[in-house]
Copies of this chain bind each other. A is one copy, B any other.
Amino acid sequence: MRVAVLGGDGYCGWATALYLSKQGHSVAIVDNFIRRQWDHELGVQTLTPIRTLAERLRVWQELTGKSLELFVGDVTDYDFLSSCIESYGPDAVVHFAEQRAAPYSMIDRKHAVFTQVNNVVGTLNLLYALREFQPDCHLVKLGTMGEYGTPNIDIEEGYITIEHNGRKDVLPYPKQGGSFYHLSKVHDSHNIMFCCKIWGLRATDLNQGVVYGTLTEEVALDEALINRFDYDEVFGTVLNRYCVEAAVGMPLSVYGKGGQTRGFLNIRDTLQCVELALVNPPQAGEYRVFNQFTETFNVLQLAEMVKAQSEKLGFKVEINHLKNPRVEAEQHYYNPIHRKLSDLGLQPRLLSDELVQSMVKRVRDHAARVKRDIILPRVRWEGSKPPGGSER
């Protein structure tokens, strides 16, 4: 299968590109390296010293004999994107090429507008490019579980059957995104659904939970293939942040009460899920949604887990409840369904004590690179002073 991975230099994108290459697919990466620029903007860096993409691809080819095609450019530039689609002719496109951090979108107006325009226009361009040059291509789009918010009823996979005043319909599941970033994916979902309907495109929206872990079989082959590990307040996700805090002797930073419950998955399961979607494509005209996570935790449970495992490694760990920088429910019902990927054969790798320990050890190995001043939240949903040098 010919697969274009948009955003293939990023955290999920890089792991996915290598995995698909290893599986024998022909893979092209489309990226403009803006994720690396955001690190410069915010004055942050990945814990792991990642190499340039050129170096990564060179080493991958040396080790495996497999070469990936590379298209450098911006998906919001239609001439560029459509020429990639036309010349590469993918059977499937996996679209990771969006600004993916909720706090980044909440820095100020400019970052909110940038996030929504960048994400919505990139996806609109892709929809038009597929219609024009590759109408049978399967679009695998990365959505987020955060599109649903935290309703007081079970969360279904994209659609819900509603009985109302004696009638019934299957309708898009109501969306309540909790940041301008999450809302950008809500907008994408509505746009993609519409294009499948009017143009007969086929798409899978992977409403992914929070991804953790960095090691996949492929990136473990060589230090030059190492993946990102973000722990800063903007791009770092909660489990990474806790592991770094534990390893460098900072209290674990639980936002508010800590009852915020989310879906999580190992990055190795991200790869499995993407592949399961690819090899089981939807019909022409079908827009389907998979809830992509393997288990739920609240953020206090995760802190307790990291504390317990870090203490086994000899670290002394405290848990600190900070004023929540986000506006979100801190205690809520949360029961999202996630059956469709299991039905296709997903074998989850659940979060284990061993994995938490290995993450903390990994931080210890790179402890000299930890910047302690980029971890605690400064971006606030109610209004914030921007980190780095950014301005409204």
Contacts and interface: CB of A to CB of B under 8 A. Distances in A.
B175 A172 contact: yes
A69 B84 CA distance: 50
Contact of A113 (B121, B151, B180): B121
A176 interface: yes
A131 to B, nearest CB: 7
A276 B35 CA distance: 48
A165 interface: yes
Contact of A197 (B151, B154, B327, B383): B327
Nearest to A187: B187
Contacts of A180: 124, 191, 194
A164 B154 contact: yes
A109 B195 CA distance: 12
A67 to B, nearest CB: 32
Interface in A317-357: 327, 333
A153 B124 contact: no
Interface in A240-286: none
A171 interface: yes
A199 interface: yes
Contacts of A190: 175, 177, 183, 186-187
Contacts of A194: 177-180, 183
Interface string A187-202: 1001101100111000
A209 B180 CA distance: 28
A116 interface: yes
Contact of A160 (B112, B120, B162): B162
A109 B178 CA distance: 29
Interface of A: 78, 109, 112-113, 116-117, 120-121, 124-125, 128, 131, 151-154, 160, 162-165, 167-169, 171-180, 183, 186-187, 190-191, 193-194, 197-199, 327, 333, 381-383, 392
